[in-house]
């Protein structure tokens, strides 16, 4: 679907993981380059409210030069959806 969309002139936003193999990723990247389009890997935190607030603070310069930012979110949750099953190309390495 990604390659078809690129061939039709669309930019494409992909959920992580973008694919389950390097070969498929290489095909998508080549198709994007050939079509002069872009593919983006979507990370949900990029558009979260706290991320936007942090960007505003950093852009304001109020903190001076920032050398490191660490973000942590920790919880245990048992997952039983398709993403947790290796038979569906899921599992923690892909998620």
The whole-number pLDDT of residue 2 equals 95
CA-CA distance, 4 to 31, in Å (whole number)?
Answer: 9
Range of the domain at 20: 2-86
End-to-end alpha carbon distance in the chain = 21
SS3 1: coil
In a domain, 9, yes or no: yes
The per-residue pLDDT for range 24-82, each reduced to its tens digit, is 999 999 999 999 999 998 877 777 888 889 999 999 999 999 999 887 777 777 777 77
Q: pTM here?
A: 0.53
The per-residue pLDDT for range 39-50, each reduced to its tens digit, is 998 877 777 888
Q: Is the dihedral of CA 39, 41, 44, 50 positive or negative?
A: negative
CA-based nearest residue to 1, from 39, 36, 34: 39
CA-CA distance, 14 to 17, in Å (whole number)?
Answer: 8
Number of separate domains in the chain = 1
The whole-number pLDDT of residue 95 equals 59
In a domain, 16, yes or no: yes
């Amino acid at each position: 679907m990604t390659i078809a969309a690129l061939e039709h002139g669309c930019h494409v936003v992909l959920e992580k993981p973008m694919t389950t193999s390097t070969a498929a990723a290489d095909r998508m990247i080549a198709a994007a380059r050939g079509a002069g389009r872009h593919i983006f890997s979507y990370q949900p935190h990029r558009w979260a409210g706290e991320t936007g607030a942090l960007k505003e603070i950093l852009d304001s310069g109020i903190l001076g030069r920032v050398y490191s930012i660490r973000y942590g979110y920790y919880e245990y949750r048992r997952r039983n959806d398709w993403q947790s099953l290796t038979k569906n190309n899921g599992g923690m390495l892909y998620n």
